[in-house]
Amino acid sequence: MLDTLILAGQVVVPKSSGEALRGKEMNELSIIDNGAVGIKDGVIEFIGTAEEAAQLQAKETIEAEGKLLSPGLVDPHTHLVFGGSREHELALKQQGVPYLEILAQGGGIHSTVKATRETAEDDLYEKGMFHLNRCLTYGVTTMEAKSGYGLDKETELKQLRVAKQLNETHPIDLVSTFLGAHAIPENYKGRPDAFLEEMLSLLSLISKEGLAEFVDIFCETGVFTVEQSKVFLQKAKTAGFGVKIHADEIDPLGGTEMACEIGAVSADHLVGASKEGVRMLGESDTIAVLLPGTTFYLGKDHFAPARDMISSGAAVALSTDFNPGSSPTENLQFIMTLAALKLKMTPEEIWNSVTVNAAYAIGRGDVAGSLEIGRRADLVLWDVPNYKYIPYHYGVNHVNKVWKNGKLVVGKGDIHANYTLSS
């Protein structure tokens, strides 16, 4: 006897082949019309058509024939834990002051560092919880969380400990990344190498306490060079971490090529990736995590060359880049719309990018981002008639219900009672 049987108009089943989907394969997406998914003991026990499910017994049946059912979304690049906010920068943006200029003047990341240092661990936890709840109600069941607003031992560890505690208490599964190399703090100005050594010296403690699986660096003009980033990430790799990089986000420095060369698990942003970088992505296992919300919010017209990447055979994932400066949104559904309009990705590519490929980008391809018998039941029921509808109808939340490990965590008739569109 199943615990729950969900009947839906369409069920989205991203392919789980043991690795990220790349190139043309990204355009393949299985859809079961008049589908059904059965859950028992928190795990998926049945996937098929409603007709095949007719003889199954279940304690509870959700009749959602007009709706869409998918795996829980995966958001593979967020700066979840931070103090304060940066709405004061919006006026600067309107005046045309560039992101890197605000940073060079001691604002931007530095302003969030100051606020994060001043915020008590409990308060950071509460704030993280608030944002995580919003992510969950928007359909995310697994996501990454970076540190990087401490730039000193005490605060970096504080951020990572908050993320660990949130992972233990909140339904969303969090994967932690150490981004101590996010900017050069005032006391290390002009001494980037000494600062990177200081951050590397934290790795053994981070590893011992299980505080992060990945190490990341902001490779950008005025922050860290490609060469500094390479040395730093190679040392992190040797220390046993998976590595990631913020590469070619604003200026095209060549971080994309370097990421492929050193075997980064993901290279993120890639707006200014060179032709050679795009070619190398197609031949490496490094996943291109694209963040069109950031390009949009920075007011740029040129977006990451997603079509070229897919043509070259690369594996692409999508993410919000949720952070208080360059992308203050938890809404991955909006990113799906930007991917359609600005990256010219197809609905099938977009779905694979926020599920299976996003999961591989954070080392969770075996447990998240797809539907398979025996996998834990992380599911979203959407108030939409088909999978193409979400990128199309933008800026709102289409979630009707969310299950995490088979447990209904959103849509018990409370939060969503007011806006369910159809029966």
Q: Which segments are annotated as binding site for N-formimidoyl-L-glutamate?
A: 149, 323, 325
Q: Please report how the helices 275-283 and 255-262 are oriented relative to each other, as an axis angle in degrees rounded to 10.
A: 20
**Number of residues this chain uses to bind ligand IZC (CB under 6 A):** 11
The stretch near ligand IZC (CB under 6 A) out of 16-24, 105-113, 118-126, 341-349 is 105-113
Using CB under 6 A as the binding rule, whether residue 256 contacts ligand IZC is answered as no
Q: Least distance (Å) from ligand IZC to the CB of residue 108?
A: 5
Using CB under 6 A as the binding rule, whether residue 323 contacts ligand IZC is answered as yes
Using CB under 6 A as the binding rule, whether residue 109 contacts ligand IZC is answered as yes
Using CB under 6 A as the binding rule, whether residue 73 contacts ligand IZC is answered as no
Using CB under 6 A as the binding rule, whether residue 230 contacts ligand IZC is answered as no
Q: Least distance (Å) from Zn ion to the CB of residue 113?
A: 14
The stretch near ligand IZC (CB under 6 A) out of 107-115, 198-206, 339-347, 352-360 is 107-115
- How many CB atoms lie under 10 A from the CB of residue 262? 18
Using CB under 6 A as the binding rule, whether residue 357 contacts ligand IZC is answered as no
| Cβ-based burial of 214 (10 A; exposed 0-12, middle 13-18, buried ≥19) | buried
Return the number of the residue (156 or 321) whose C-beta is nearest Zn ion. Answer: 321
Interior CA angle at 405 toward 400 and 409, to 5°?
35
Return the number of the residue (29 or 270) whose C-beta is nearest ligand IZC. Answer: 270
Choose the contact partner of 376 out of Zn ion, ligand IZC, none; CB within 5 to 8 A by kind.
none
Q: Least distance (Å) from ligand IZC to the CB of residue 326?
A: 4
- How many CB atoms lie under 10 A from the CB of residue 211? 20
Return the number of the residue (35 or 272) whose C-beta is nearest ligand IZC. Answer: 272
Annotated binding site: 77, 79, 86, 149, 182, 246, 249, 321, 323, 325-326
Q: Least distance (Å) from ligand IZC to the CB of residue 382?
A: 29
Return the number of the residue (323 or 397) whose C-beta is nearest ligand IZC. Answer: 323
Q: Which residues contact 85 (CB under 8 A, 6 or more apart)?
A: 115, 324, 328
Using CB under 6 A as the binding rule, whether residue 108 contacts ligand IZC is answered as yes
Q: Least distance (Å) from ligand IZC to the CB of residue 230?
A: 18
Task: Candidates 10, 112, 165, 337: give the one binding ligand IZC (CB under 6 A).
Answer: 112
Beta bridge partners of 53: none
Choose the contact partner of 365 out of Zn ion, ligand IZC, none; CB within 5 to 8 A by kind.
none
Using CB under 6 A as the binding rule, whether residue 178 contacts ligand IZC is answered as no
324 vs 80: CA distance, rounded Å: 9
Task: Measure Cα distances from 207 to 67, 146, 245, 270 in Å.
Answer: 43, 15, 19, 28
Annotated binding site for Fe(3+): 77, 79, 246, 321
Q: Least distance (Å) from ligand IZC to the CB of residue 121?
A: 20
Task: Candidates 22, 77, 79, 404: give the one binding ligand IZC (CB under 6 A).
Answer: 79
SS3 per residue for 36-75: EEEEECCEEEEEEEHHHHCCCCEEEEEEEEEEEEEECEEE
Which residue sits closest to Zn ion, CB atoms considered?
Answer: 321
Of 210-229, binders to ligand IZC (CB under 6 A) are: 218
Task: Candidates 9, 325, 328, 365: give the one binding ligand IZC (CB under 6 A).
Answer: 325
Instruction: List interacting residues with Zn ion (CB under 5 A).
Output: 321
Q: Least distance (Å) from Zn ion to the CB of residue 145?
A: 11
Task: Candidates 170, 246, 342, 364: give the one binding ligand IZC (CB under 6 A).
Answer: 246
User: Which stretches of the chain bind ligand IZC, using CB under 6 A?
Assistant: 79, 108-109, 112, 218, 246, 249, 323-326
